[in-house]
Amino acid sequence: MKRFFQSVERDQSFKKMTIKPPNDAAAGAAAAAPEPPVDGDDAWREPSKFMSWNANSLLLRLKKNREELMGLVQRLDPDIIAIQEVRIPAAGRKGEPKNQGDIKDDTNVAREDKQIVTRAFSALPLSNYRVWWSLSENKYGGTALLVKKRFNPVSITFSLDAGTNKHETDGRVVLAEFQSFSLLNTYVPNNGWKDDEQGFQRRQKWDQRMLDFVSRSSKKPLIWCGDLNVSHEEIDVSHPQFFQNARLPGYMPPNSEDLGQPGFTAAERQRFSKLLKLGDLVDSYRWLHKEQEFDCGFTWSGHPVGKYHGKRMRIDYFLLSRQLLPHLTSSDIHGHGIEMEGFYGSDHCPITMELSPVSFSQGKPKDCIDGII
């Protein structure tokens, strides 16, 4: 979500884990060969444990919250980690084309920052993952996808558009295809407060492109995760009336459906409903958690000082194709309370989803029929 407040650093821990690092330059390459089957299992297994987090600057988290972050990954032990808003600039000199798959290192400050990231990804538990970056040209936006080295993606791309491996502006997309499903990690543009090119119009164009994306026929189910910058229903915000009536002082949107807090306008929520319906996608958290959990049912929290104190929204999701529902075992939010426990310095907390494992024997999914689980 667009930053309106300073981040607050808190501490909390979870589960257990094991992992291994990325190659800084390997951003757009296909994954390396998978490791041999473990524990005598002769079947290949797909990733089944997923984590997503808007880090509100992964670089800052590695500087200020590294130990807590490493402990979090160690305990949760995800097979895939999707990160949004990494806020690490792409490689390339000023005025030259940027390499959005690699980290900037052409200045002393940039080299120091890259070294911080490289060291973190060279140490356990992060060293058990390969990482693919889609970075912005400046310190804004950007996404990353970390995949345990035992898993072998069929392909990794960086755009919503078919047939291209170009990166999205601001590095907003990493799309990974596996044998049994595709996983889309996005940092969705904030709606903003105004009807201009950086506000409503930009978000409308993005939502239309997402409609086109989910409409394209695919034999594989989709998992779509990340900071989607929308609270779908009233149950997804702590104070519905407050967010519905929020406005930019001195400005009234031309259309009433655009009035309100970015992420909770009627227009955004309607378009999100259309996306879910057209893509036959299910909100995994709401599927398993029908009632509002006021202490731990939100993923973004406002600054603890001022009018946004205690105001919270659920804008981070794991959506999945309906045919994956029989495999859904858990979908959880790992932060809670207005004091932002479990947010690890960000204004978003991590979320996780787990599926019952899908096995492959001789390269063919055991649980699939005609390519669909």
For the annotated catalytic residues, the residue numbers are 187, 227
Q: What are phi and psi of 235, to 5 degrees?
A: -65, -15
CB 171 within 8 A of CB 101: no
Q: What residue spans of 246-370 are helical by DSSP H? A: 266-279, 284-288
What's the rounded Cα separation, in Å, for the pair 72 and 13?
6
Return the bridge partners of 187, or none: 227
Which has the closest alpha carbon to 321: 248, 255, 223? Answer: 223
Contact 176, 27 (CB under 8 A): no
Q: How far apart are the first and last CA of the chain?
A: 32
Task: Report the distance separating Cα 99 and Cα 89, nearest Å.
Answer: 10
- Judge residue 241's burial from the number of C-beta atoms within 10 Å of its C-beta, 0-12 exposed, 13-18 middle, 19 or more buried: exposed
